Structure formats: C-alpha cells, structure tokens
A and B are shown apart, each in its own frame.
Chain A
Amino acid sequence: MSTVTLSGAQMIIKSLVDQGVEVIFGYPGGAVLPIYDELFKQNQIRHVLVRHEQGAVHAAEGYARSTGKVGVVLVTSGPGATNAVTGLTDALMDSIPVVCLTGQVPTHLIGNDAFQECDTTGITRPCTKHNYLVKEVDKLAKTMHEAFYVARTGRPGPVVIDIPKDVQFAAGPYTGPENIVHKTYKPKTEGDAPAIERAVDLLMSAKKPIIYAGGGVINAGPEASDLLREFVTLTNYPTTLTLMGLGALPANAPQFLGMLGMHGTYEANWAMHDCDVMLALGARFDDRITGRVDAFSPNSKKIHVDIDPSSINKNIRADVPIIGDAKTVLEQILAAWKKRGAKPNGDALAAWWRQIDAWRDVKCLSFETNDKTIKPQQAIRRLFELTRDRDPYITTEVGQHQMWAAQHFDFFAPNRWMTSGGLGTMGYGLPAAIGVQMAHPDALVIDIAGEASILMNIQEISTAVQYRLPVKIFITNNRYMGMVRQWQELLHGSRYSESYSEALPDFVKLAEAYGALGLRAETPADLDETIVRMIDYDGPVIADIAVDPAENCFPMIPSGQAHNEMILAASDDAIDEKGKVLV
C-alpha cells in the first residue's frame, strides 16, 4: 500500500472524503483553525456554519436519520466541545451515527488549564459510544476511519475524536479506509439459527400475537422496513411502533395499531398488555413503553431482537433473545416461516382482531373542534393532510406538540420522522430540520415546534437563511410549556409553577428580523391558508399557530401504572403517590 505524507489537518479532510462525507456541520475556533484552513482550500466537502455547537450535532443527527449515513460535526476545544455535549448525549440515547471532531489545545499544554482547554474525552466518555484523543499524527488517519466504523456499525452512536492543535500541524503517513478491522469490536448481525426456529415456533402458535418495532428497524435501513411490512402482511399480525420506529410500517397498513407507550393508542397498549406472543424488533422496552414493569404484558412470551446484547433482559425478561441486526433477523424469520409453510392460527387471530377492533372503536385520538380556537391536534392533522402528497420530512421539538405530532401525523416510509426520543431535548427540531434539508434540498422539511422549545435553538434560523434552506417551523403556540403544565395539572394541584411562556417574542417579527417569512394563524378559519402559504413559500418560514392553551395530551399511561390502566381524559386521581416520584 502506497502511503502519502500529509499534515494532520489534511489527513482529516482526506479521510472525510474517503469516507464519502459530503457535508459537515461546525463552528470554528482557535483549536481547529488548521482544519478550517484546509476546508477553505478544497471543494469536495461542504461546511455548514451553525450558530451554536449544539445545533451542529442536532443538524448532523437530522442528516444521519434522514439518510442512514454518518453525520459529521467539527467544533473547537473547550466551549465548542462542551456545547456539543447535549447533542452527543441525544445521539447516544437515540442510537444515531455521528462523528464529532473536536479541537484540543496542543499536547504539551494538555492538563495545564490552558486557554479553552477542557477534558473533552473525560466529559464525553459517558455520552459517546466511544471517544479518542489522538496524540500522535501517525495514528490520526486510522483513528478517523475506525471512528466511522464504530459510529455506523452495530448499534450506531456518536464518536468523538479529540485532536490537539499540534497534531493538526504535524506531518505523517495517511492510510485509507481499506481494511479497517477493529481488534475487539465486532458486532454480531446474524441471529442464532436455533433461536430463530424457537421464535418461529412461538409466532406460529400465537393466538394473540403482537409485533412491537422500534428505531432499530429504521437504523437497519429501508430494506428492514420493507421486510417488516412483508412479514406483517404475510401474517396479518397486529403491529405497533415506538416513537423512534414511526414510519417502519406505513401508517395506513391495516395491521398498524398506532404508536404505543405513555402517549400511545388505547388499542396498541391494550394489545401489548393482553397479547400471548410478542415480537420486539429493535426496540428496548424503555420506561415510556413499559409503564409499570411488573405489570407489563404479564401473560406473553417475548421474542426480543436487538443488535445490542445489553438491551436484552435489561428491563424485561426475554423468553427468546436474538442478538442481531433487525434486517438480517427479519430475513431469517421470514425464510424460516416460509420454509416451514407456517400459517397463523386463523380462528384465534380472527378473535384477537375482533377484540382489537373493539379497542379501536374507543377512538382514543378523537378530539373536538370549534370555530373559535384551533385545537393543537387539529393543527397537526391539517398539516398532515395538506402536505401528504409532498412526502414531507418532519422533525419536532419536545413537549405536547411532539406527542400530538406522533399521534396525528401519519408516516408512510422510514427516515421521514426525526424526533428526540431518548433524551427529549427541547431545541432539537430546528437544527435537525436544517440537517435534513441539507441532505434533501428539494424536500419539504417541517419542524413541528412548541413556542418554548423553539427558543432554545432559535438562532439556527440564521443558518437556514444563510444556506437558503427552506425549512418550515410550525409552532403550535399554547403559550405554556404545555407538557410541564399538563403534569402540574395531574400531579401538583394545577399549580403552574414557572410553566407559563411569559414575554414571548412576536414570532412573525422574529422571522422577519432573521430574513425569513413570518405567518400567524389565530382562528380555525386561518389555519389552512396559513399552512398552504407556509409550504408554498420558497424559503424558511415561521408559522405561529395560536392553539388552545388548555388542551392536554391523551391518551396517557400515568407514570407508575400499567398499560391497562391508561386514561383517556384528565381525572384527579390518575396518578397515585408512588407514581408522583417518577418522571
């Protein structure tokens, strides 16, 4: 293998190009100037200048989630790195592949409390899948390629490479991405054959089956979603998706029961509770899904497919654990099912569907409209209906609007829905939308936002304007931190401590100040027109939609309770004393 000698900074650019990177999100500073200088001299990689490093990481996440590629971030040492921490944690919790390059003070100053020094690898150790401090330029190229490999394979996640400034200047040999094999990190993608057979045994004999699929199916690539649809169509088994999994099965599939969990549908949660065989695919039984663990789906045999062995038996015991990639394991299950000529248990399945249809008849997501105030659910439903033929990409902030978006916006394909699930990061949606729009310049990209969340990374409108990214910010403005207010109503005697959005900016003027278009809808009569103007405008828009400030998000499994204890509307004693200590 022929090697060329490059400076560390040149190596970084070259390895990014060799990894197929087209876009990076970043913010300059003293400790990364050599890299910015090399960026200046080339035109293979586009750099998007964000306005805050947290925004850079979320943008990279949006880019990654909407493309399946690795998102790349470049930030300076000290405050640049610490500002990135929330984004890194978000990417870790939601298993999003990100490589984040951080500048560091020169090696001889490390540990000296030098200007803009921080212990980046120390700080980011618990919020990355892995991190590196590269002290010798000879190791830089290999580390870069290894980082991409680690970020993208197995259960994806964020990887930080901390690069001291002297290493960026030093010269050393460049090696390409070929033959990057890690000594110890070798994720397993194929499920064990005997476990697949046992899973098929269980699935064949099921009387009340359910498929519960999550973000692992999205991460396994669009083929995994195709395979899921094939299996669901073949068996006619009812299927529910987690917040992270929305889009893995088209929302109009007759077998789709909607999202499950704390704000999931009545039918999905009851079916989870009453099922006798559960196939969990790339989902991790987290506490928003299970509710009270000791009452979670008490009578079912559970097949748990996950690429991360530590997800198995973490919260819920699996009867048939299968470690592997969702796509590969779905292929294996489908093959075994077909080979054995398996058929679902027709009569039992028909009875199960009758039961599920009775739950569906509750119409748990219905809401009433009037002609005075816009209901937030109505705003989101109309947004869906008026954009459905545009194959839109949706990001969200965090709060009630996020849950309403999950409930009332339908997704028909994977990689269209980007929301902060695990960490619940307010301020995620706008920068994520910027990342999505960079990857899909002609697509309709909408951030469904709350008026409180959007202010957490509002500065990124500037980025959208600079790069002519026509992202749409659709604010369901209830003048409250609605989700906080809802919990205060349920748990704390409606004492709305600090949850009113006081002194809000005029969002129309704010949009204009940034050079974007501002729109406002006050009444249901304005709603459609505002949405149409928003999507027809060729540029970034903030649409400020005044919605009913008192509306709460239901159905809901009150914290600390079981799936069959979910509530459809507010009542005083929904949450007991024990539940109050939970979040």
Chain B
Amino acid sequence: MSATPTGAQQPGAAYTFQEAAEDIRRHAFAVVVDNEPGVLARVIGLFSGRGYNIESLTVSTVTEDESVSRITIVTSGTEMVIEQIKAQLARLIPVHDVHDLTIEGDVIEKEVALIKVVAKEHQRRESLRIADIFKATVADTTLESFVFQIQGSPGKVDSFVELMRALGETEVARSGVVAMSRGAGVISAE
C-alpha cells in the first residue's frame, strides 16, 4: 500500500530530513476496540492520513456479545514510527488496548488462503503433489481446475502461491494475518 518515499518523510512534519540509516522493521499489532460503527474507518484513516503502511489488516468480533473486536494489523516502519503508530492507535477513543506483538515476545502469525489453479495434464498433477507437500486441501475441483485451501504462516502461503502461479492461471484470495503471542499470557477483550 502507501509506502513512505525514500529519504523518509517524517509523518506529521513538513521536513524531509534524517532517518537515513534507520532500520525498517515489520510489526504485528493487536488492537482491541469497541465494536461500534466507524471504528475500522478510524483505524484505516489514521494509517492513510499519517502515511503509515498497512501490509495486512484483519478484523472480527471476539466476545460472545459481539461488543469488542480485535484488529490485527501488520505494518512496518522505523522504531520511532512504530512507537508513533502504537501511540496514535491508543489515542483513538474506542480503542481499549494496543499490543505490539512483535516486541512483546514470540508471535504466531497465521493466514488462510484460497488458490484456484486452472491447469491440465502434467501441471494439474504437479499442483496436487505440491498441495500435498504444503498440506493444502482441495476445496473444489473441476476437470480443469482446483481450488486449494491452505493455512499457515504468511511466508508459507507466499511460497505456495508462487509455485501455483508457475503451473497455470491462478486466482488468489487471502484472509490477511491473524496473530497472537505464544505462551500463557492473555490479552483480555475487555
């Protein structure tokens, strides 16, 4: 999506200096929000308005009464930008809690994808074989196509999609990343 221009313009400032050699790192955030109208627009508007990246964004309610949602956002930036993103998210009124999962410890990131491959003969057989290796399942089949369902880390999904592209015409739908910290610590949805 919207990438920061080289020379790193500082979000919110008119000046285009510095940050030459700073590391850009990828972070996964879990944002616990009130499930009210407009909350997702607030989050997305904040990212576009301040020029931050969104690599992936997923959202769903996570409580029984559907009053609270959890948004998983994968973004990237320098340490200062990441810190700013966290502070800006926390500033939104309906936001309960913001967790930078990447700095809070080991994080599990998973994604689901559906990949349709239109292929014949050797390519068709090959696609099945690869699906088997990746533990992808067949969600639909015709004589000239498969729809594979795969789940796993974004990297695994990337590799699978890349291989399938080599075998025929493809259509890809990906869920985006959901993430959670390893271990017994719980992020409450209150």
The chain A residues found within 8 Å of chain B, CB to CB, are 121-122, 125-126, 129-131, 133, 150, 182-185, 286-287, 292-294, 308-310, 312-315, 317, 559-560, 578, 581-583
Q: Considering the chains assembled together, what is the distance between the CA atoms of A185 and B90 in angstroms?
A: 9
Q: Are A292 and B17 interface neighbours, CB within 8 A?
A: yes
- Measured CB to CB, the residues of B under 8 A from A are 10, 12-18, 34, 37-38, 41-42, 45, 49, 80, 83-84, 87-88, 90-91, 93-96
Distance between B52 CB and nearest chain A CB, rounded to angstroms: 13
Residue of A184, A286, A560, A583 ringed by the most chain B CB atoms within 10 A: A184
Instruction: Specify which chain A residues have a CB less than 8 angstroms from the CB of B38 in the assembled complex.
Output: 121, 125, 131, 133
Task: Sort A-B residue pairs by CB-CB distance and give the 8 closest, nearest first.
Answer: A310-B87, A130-B93, A294-B18, A184-B96, A287-B13, A309-B87, A287-B14, A185-B93
Note all chain A residues with C-beta closer than 8 A to B12: 314-315
Query: Nearest residue in A to B38 (C-beta to C-beta)?
Result: A121
With both chains docked as a complex, state the minimum distance between the C-beta of A369 and any C-beta of chain B, in angstroms. Answer: 35
**CB-based A-B contact count at 8 angstroms:** 66
Contact A287 B91 (CB under 8 A): no
Task: Specify which chain A residues have a CB less than 8 angstroms from the CB of B49 in the assembled complex.
Answer: 126
- B90 cross-chain contacts in A, Cβ below 8 A: 309-310
Q: Shortest Cβ distance from A4 into chain B, in angstroms?
A: 27
Given contacts A294-B17, A310-B91, A582-B16, contact A183 B34 (CB under 8 A): yes
CA distance A130 to B16 in the complex (A): 30
Residues of A within 8 A of B18 (CB): 293-294
Asked whether A313 and B10 contact (CB < 8 A) given A184-B94, A582-B16, the answer is no
Which residue from chain B places its CB closest to the CB of A286 in the assembled complex? B13
Closest to A127 in B: B49
Within the complex, the shortest CB–CB distance from B5 to chain A, in Å, comes to 12
Q: Shortest distance in angstroms between B53's beta carbon and chain A's nearest beta carbon?
A: 17
Interfacial chain A residues near B80, Cβ < 8 Å: 313, 317
- B41, A125: Cβ atoms under 8 Å? yes
Q: How far is the CB of B13 from chain A (nearest CB, A)?
A: 5
Which B residue's beta carbon lies closest to that of A146? Answer: B93
Closest to A185 in B: B93
CA distance A293 to B95 in the complex (A): 31
Contacts of B15 in A (CB 8 A): 287, 292-293, 560, 582
> Complex: how many Å from CA A582 to CA B17?
11
Contact A310 B13 (CB under 8 A): no
Set B45, B84, B87: member contacting A126, Cβ < 8 A: B45
Q: Are A182 and B84 in contact (CB under 8 A)?
A: no
A582 to chain B, nearest CB (A): 5
- Residues in B with CB closer than 8 Å to A287 are 13-15
Across the interface, do A129 and B93 meet the contact criterion of CB distance under 8 Å? Answer: yes
Chain B residues within an 8 Å CB radius of A185: 93
Beta-carbon contact of A125 and B93 below 8 Å? no
Distance between Cα atoms of A319 and B90 in the complex (Å): 22
Complex Cα–Cα for A184 and B10 (A): 29
Say whether B14 contacts A582, CB under 8 Å. Answer: yes
The answer to whether B93 and A312 touch across the interface, beta carbons within 8 angstroms, is no
Q: Which A residue's beta carbon lies closest to that of B49?
A: A126
List the A side residues contacting B16 at CB < 8 Å.
Answer: 578, 581-582
Instruction: Tell me the bound Cα distance from A287 to B87 in angstroms.
Output: 19
What are 19 A-to-B residue pairs whose CB atoms are below 8 Å? Answer: A122-B41, A125-B42, A130-B93, A133-B38, A150-B93, A182-B93, A183-B34, A184-B34, A184-B94, A184-B96, A292-B17, A294-B18, A308-B91, A310-B91, A312-B87, A314-B12, A314-B87, A317-B80, A578-B16
Does A313 lie within 8 Å of B84, measured CB to CB?
Answer: yes
Bound: A133/B42 CA distance, A: 14
